[in-house]
């Protein structure tokens, strides 16, 4: 476990160094917005497209991966509903829990960590897992949030379609799978250009995470108990459910190592960006991102050690 921590430590050093820079130098929101826009609209779409276009793709070969991750995500949505009803959460907190249950940082943090521990050969698999999350989040997840705000089924369906076809990450997955399935070889000069962009993605997204953490306020310690419970659930209980779920179905958990590690990621930044539009609990989201990212320094090496690549 200590050896694994050493491998992924440089990623967290960049995150927390960026957080300290933001906290003490207050470099402003402009950096975060520009870097995040680059990562979301250019960097990650290029990385995902490049990875998938280079690997021959077969739905039959990837069926188990697609089904296992889809079942996990849908089960997580169901668990959020059950917990929300059990604790009789109000509308705002219920919506917050519902979307945050599933919205792990599978792209910004998950892909760099998987590449760090398994090498670039894991990129096609990691990219496909991200695509599965995006599909269900922007259909079931955002669909529910839209319905809770608009109460209009027709408008919800239209928004789901718009969200799917406007999402640069999902579009890059579709295009990459098409190129890979047809076994089209892209010109080497184009591939070199794409590789130059992909090389910049990991440090960029780690800095974005760090800048977000650096802007967060501490608040009262008593306010962090629900955040701690949610973080433990997100980092330990949910991936454990995935682990024992595939084991119960007769599979070897190591077959789904990448998926389980992705399921163990801390909360992503995107729900915070959605908070105003859908009236979510911004303080809960922000603090969950901060604490979850800090605790993942310990939890992720544990899962990586349990699930050798």
Which pLDDT tens digit goes with each residue over 177-204? 889 888 888 899 998 999 999 999 999 9
What is the model's pLDDT at position 27? Answer: 75
3-state secondary structure of 267: strand
Cα 300 to the chain's mean position, in Å? 14
Cα–Cα separations (whole angstroms), residue 71 to 76, 82, 132, 293: 8, 16, 10, 25
What is the model's pLDDT at position 95? Answer: 94
Planar angle of CA 228, 205, 101, nearest 5 degrees: 35
Instruction: Please tell me the distance from the alpha carbon of residue 231 to that of residue 163, in angstroms, as a whole number.
Output: 28
What is the model's pLDDT at position 202? Answer: 93
Which has more pLDDT, 220 or 138? 138
DSSP label at 250? T
Length, in residues, of the chain: 309
What is the model's pLDDT at position 49? Answer: 92
Residue 114 has pLDDT above 90, yes or no: yes
- Percent of the chain surpassing pLDDT 90: 58
Mean pLDDT rounded to a whole number for the chain: 89
Mean pLDDT to the nearest integer, 74-85 = 95
Residue 153 has pLDDT above 70, yes or no: no
Whether the Cβ atoms of residue 53 and residue 244 lie closer than 8 Å to each other: no
> Euclidean distance between the first and final Cα of the chain, in Å?
13
Instruction: Please tell me the distance from the alpha carbon of residue 107 to that of residue 130, in angstroms, as a whole number.
Output: 6
Which has more pLDDT, 5 or 75? 75
Give the highest mean pLDDT range of 1-5, 24-28, 273-277: 273-277
Flag the least confident range among 90-99, 169-178, 224-233: 169-178
Q: What is the CA radius of gyration of the chain?
A: 19
What is the band of 52 on the pLDDT scale with cuts at 50, 70, 90? Answer: confident
């Amino acid at each position: 476990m200590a050896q694994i921590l050493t491998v992924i430590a440089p990623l967290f050093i960049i995150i927390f160094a960026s957080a300290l820079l933001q906290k003490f130098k207050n470099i402003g929101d402009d950096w975060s917005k520009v870097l995040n826009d680059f990562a979301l609209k250019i960097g990650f779409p290029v990385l995902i497209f490049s990875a998938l276009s280079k690997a021959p793709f077969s739905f039959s070969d990837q069926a188990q991966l697609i089904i296992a991750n889809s079942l996990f995500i849908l089960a997580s949505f169901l668990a959020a509903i059950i917990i929300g009803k059990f604790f009789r959460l109000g509308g705002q907190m219920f919506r917050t829990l519902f979307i945050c249950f599933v919205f792990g940082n599978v792209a910004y943090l998950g892909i760099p960590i998987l590449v760090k521990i398994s090498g670039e050969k894991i990129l096609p698999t990691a990219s496909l897992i991200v695509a599965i999350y995006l599909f269900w989040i922007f259909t079931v997840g955002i669909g529910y949030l839209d319905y809770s705000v608009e109460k209009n089924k027709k408008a919800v369906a239209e928004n789901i379609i718009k969200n799917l076809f406007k999402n640069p990450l999902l579009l890059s997955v579709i295009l990459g799978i098409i190129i890979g399935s047809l076994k089209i070889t892209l010109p080497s000069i184009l591939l070199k250009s794409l590789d130059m962009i992909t090389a910049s993605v990991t440090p960029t997204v780690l800095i974005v995470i760090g800048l977000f953490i650096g802007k967060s306020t501490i608040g009262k310690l008593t306010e962090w108990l629900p955040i701690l419970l949610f973080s433990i659930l997100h980092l330990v209980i949910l991936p454990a459910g995935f682990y024992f779920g595939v084991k119960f179905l007769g599979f070897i958990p190591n077959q789904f190592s990448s998926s389980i590690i992705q399921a163990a990621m801390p909360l992503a930044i995107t729900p915070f960006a959605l908070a105003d539009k859908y009236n979510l609990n911004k303080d809960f989201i922000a603090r969950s991102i901060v604490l979850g990212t800090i605790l993942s320094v310990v939890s992720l090496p544990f899962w990586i050690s349990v699930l050798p690549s």
